[in-house]
Structure 1
Amino acid sequence: MQRREYMQGLASAAGIVTVSATGKAREVDDFEGRGPPSEAPPAKGDTVFGLAEHIEPVRVGIIGLGNRGFGMTQLIDAMAPNKGVINAICDIREEPVREMEQWIEEEGNNDTPATYTGSESCWKALAQRDDLDLVFVFTNHQNHAPMAEYAMKEGKHVAVEVPMATTIEELWTLVDTAERTQKNCMMLENVCYFDTEMWVLNMVRNGVFGDQLNYASGGYIHNLVAEYFFQAYWNDWRSRNHLKYKGDLYPTHGLGPIAFYMGINRGDRLQFISSQESPESRLTQRAAELPEDHWAHDIDDWENGDTTRSEILTAQDRQIHLQFDVKTNRGYSRKNELAGSDAYHEGFPSKLAVDSEGHGFVDESTYEQYYEEHRHPLWVQMEEIAEEYGGHGGGDFLEIYRLFDAFNQGRPLDMNVYDGAAWSAVRPLSAISLEHEGMPVKFPDFTRGRWEEDRELQVMDFDTI
């Protein structure tokens, strides 16, 4: 059955859902072809595709020194003195600020930075400084968008942890602000820089998977039930997300590399998403086992289900399956499955099938041959230093290195605000689909039609490594 006929049949039975720029959902029954577009606000500035600025060294401010922010700040410190310098750090809690200040003084490469702490708005004072080019945001999910927006309005480029924002309205605000201010807003999706993911990407670009990519599967599967009952996790917002929100709360680790493989926003785009979830049981079960005086003992109304599965259809009719599961008793996985006309890969552990004709995966020797032949040049050239500094096996370091190097060389960043918006949109759109009993929801086109332009990924520009 042709895709148009299939989608018309689906719509006649259930319709589709479009989403306004403010995040308001509307069911549409008169589906034709690819359906009506989700509402896009008028452009408030020029596109930031290709936006580049030469800055050497990059002067940095850092907001948020929690578990993630503290470690990433240590990697950022490794960029000093030539690629970048840390001029200011901030956290509302004084203790991590003093600990980071002491670490930089005793072990770091930077001079002692200015510090901001002690109030809910201390981060604004950091963003207002006139000696910063780039602000990193390592705070809780709900603060990502307002902090990134404010920093761009203060004339700073921004690098923000995943997800870039949690609502459709926030995502449009970040896109509009980036275009109006002509400042970069990059989401720090570190998995795109992992060795295996970059190897698969390079094989795609080298033609190993053939002329057509058909299907991919990614996710975040990580049993965190016990950790969600540590007091620290409750205090730092994680558990509250599961109390309040439905949907895929953490989609970008699985989706980011797939979007690179498939050229999303570079000739294809995410078009529809349909989501389903299982009942919630694991957090309620674990809470009931805790002592009666434990803060979580009586909580039995967790909003988020044990697992959420989403099916995404792209404009080129390619399928992407995503799964979010941090509760069931499964081993860690991001899946990383990719099927093309000539090859197939799946992760955890990594396995490759090439022209298998039904005979399964290649043997270890053949796998190693493909690995050595198609390993991404970034890893070939920088493996030793990446592993020395670490961060998820070196992926975090390479992500930070490429960000600074892009500014130093005056080239566009590897990921732009449109990438972060499209990938992060899965979170609110999956919740909308669940609220509408799994109906397909139309993705907003944050590029306003420029996704159709065939452009190369910056991370595949080997000459600038």
Structure 2
Amino acid sequence: MIDVPFEKRNPRIALIGLGGRGTSLLGNLLAADGQVVALCDIVPAKAEHAASLVATAGQPKPRLYTHGPHDYESMLTGNDIDLVLVATPWSWHAEQAIFAMKHGKDVAIEVPGVDTIEDCWRIVRTSEETRKHCMMLENCCYGYNETLVLRMAHDGVFGDLLYGEGAYLHDLRQILFSDEGEGLWRRAEHTKRNGNLYPTHGLGPVANYMGIQRGDRFGYIVSMSSRERSFDEYRKEHLQPGDPRMAERYVTGDMNTSLIKTANGLTITVKHTVSTPHPYDRVNMIAGTKGIFQDYPARIYFDGQNSDESWGSIDAWKKYAHPLWQREGGTATKIGGHGGMDYIMLYRLLQCVKEGLPPDMDVYDAAAWSAVAPLSVSSVSRGSQPEDFPDFTRGKWQQRKVSAIALQA
């Protein structure tokens, strides 16, 4: 499925999962003129609310599938859906993506992808066997800064790339201990695994800067986690004695730090915390022989830039603003969705399908990025021993071209 284009058409779209994230995706899809024909959620009221948004946008009311956790199977068995967006809890992503592909649908799964190395291989093999795409909806790859820096990196502005850093540093304690939304399922992930559970927001853009899967690939990972303290402290301060959540045992360290070495000798640091007090930060850093960019706040420095070695402003590099942002940035910013990146991501996905282009990030990217979580867990459990990444492309990463998103679009 390398460089395989979508079948050219105006896709009929279905969504599985209409909680906060799924509903947000739906709003951005409708703003991007996506044709939504079916919706699925285990909570009928959520599906009905989503259907009202479709109707308000001037489209016919979509079919609803709300009869239990497997009703998505009924939705996907027909031939009137072309593209499926999956925004369900993480443990469902692989099963739902594979079912969609086996029933003739292209599929886009929410971050952080799939849970296990075996599931990584399953989505790769199913995509290859069915000739249907499976991509990750990594919105952070479509941010204004990320797309601008991507074009700079591929134009050689930073020189030969050496090192990158990405992170997900986000205090989610209140959300994860809520009685709705992600609080119903995501906190449980912290009772099961100790590693980087959510790597792709920080890692995805850095992987694109470096051309991972396109001339380079992840080689191995070393990971370590701090001890766990913050969820325990939070619940003692905010929950009543006897609350069932007081009996939960958390095993995920409060801070995970992972190091990745690529086949070509580049290195990447990936960090994760959702349980500690921390301003939101994805780091988003790329460094080469000529200069460095780092986000939060955005700043840039080049060799010989000034005598006091102080950071400069990225505003001086606006000529590298991505054409997608030049063309759609006003609408994207108005719509919202994480500063507009959600809209740009879905606008671009629809553009690729409508024009019969390959996806910017494909199933091999989805597999490689997803693999970070289980490999980090394994490394942590073995005293931070290295864990090798599988080569999901089976050697074809050496012949691949630059992702289309790095080029003018």
Whether TM exceeds 0.5 here: the answer is yes
Superposition TM-score, scaled by structure 2 size: 0.96
Residue 331 of structure 1 aligns with which residue?
A: 279
Residue 11 of structure 2 aligns with which residue?
A: 58
Rg larger for: 1
Which amino acid is 1:208 matched to?
A: V
Residue 188 of structure 1 aligns with which residue?
A: 137
Instruction: Provide the C-alpha distance between the structure 1 equivalents of 2:109 and 2:272, rounded to a whole number of angstroms.
Output: 21
**Alignment partner of 1:438 out of 367, 384, 400:** 384
Paired residues for 1:36-435 under 5 Å: 48-80=1-33, 84-105=34-55, 107-210=56-159, 212-233=160-181, 236-289=184-237, 290-299=239-248, 301-356=249-304, 359-364=308-313, 367-370=314-317, 372-435=318-381
Q: 1:423 to 1:450 in 2, by over 3 A?
A: same
**Contact 1:140–1:236 (CA<8 Å) still a contact in 2?**
no
Structure 1 residue 311, shift from structure 2 partner = 0.4
Question: Structure 1: which 4+ aligned runs deviate by more than 6 Å?
Answer: none
3-state secondary structure, aligned to 1:297: helix
* Per-residue Cα deviation, 1:197-251 (whole angstroms, up to 9, x for no partner): 11111111222101x1001111100011222211125653110001111110000
**Contact 1:288–1:298 (CA<8 Å) still a contact in 2?**
no
3-state secondary structure, aligned to 2:259: strand
Structure 1 residue 74, shift from structure 2 partner = 1.4
Which amino acid is 1:241 matched to?
A: E
Instruction: Provide the C-alpha distance between the structure 1 equivalents of 2:17 and 2:162, rounded to a whole number of angstroms.
Output: 40
3-state secondary structure, aligned to 1:231: coil
Instruction: Provide the C-alpha distance between the structure 1 equivalents of 2:182 and 2:355, rounded to a whole number of angstroms.
Output: 42
**Contact 1:74–1:108 (CA<8 Å) still a contact in 2?**
no
Which amino acid is 1:258 matched to?
A: V
Residue 14 of structure 1 aligns with which residue?
A: none
Which amino acid is 2:46 matched to?
A: P
% identical aligned pairs: 37
Instruction: Provide the C-alpha distance between the structure 1 equivalents of 2:174 and 2:57, rounded to a whole number of angstroms.
Output: 34
Residue 394 of structure 2 aligns with which residue?
A: 448
Q: 1:233 to 1:283 in 2, by over 3 A?
A: farther
Which amino acid is 1:456 matched to?
A: V
**Contact 1:351–1:361 (CA<8 Å) still a contact in 2?**
no
Instruction: Provide the C-alpha distance between the structure 2 equivalents of 1:381 and 1:103, rounded to a whole number of angstroms.
Output: 25
3-state secondary structure, aligned to 1:99: helix
Which amino acid is 1:49 matched to?
A: I
Instruction: Provide the C-alpha distance between the structure 1 equivalents of 2:37 and 2:32, rounded to a whole number of angstroms.
Output: 13
**Contact 2:151–2:407 (CA<8 Å) still a contact in 1?**
no
3-state secondary structure, aligned to 2:246: coil
Superposition TM-score, scaled by structure 1 size: 0.85
Q: 1:77 to 1:435 in 2, by over 3 A?
A: same
**Contact 2:13–2:81 (CA<8 Å) still a contact in 1?**
yes
Paired residues, number: 407
Gaps of at least 5 residues in structure 2 are: none
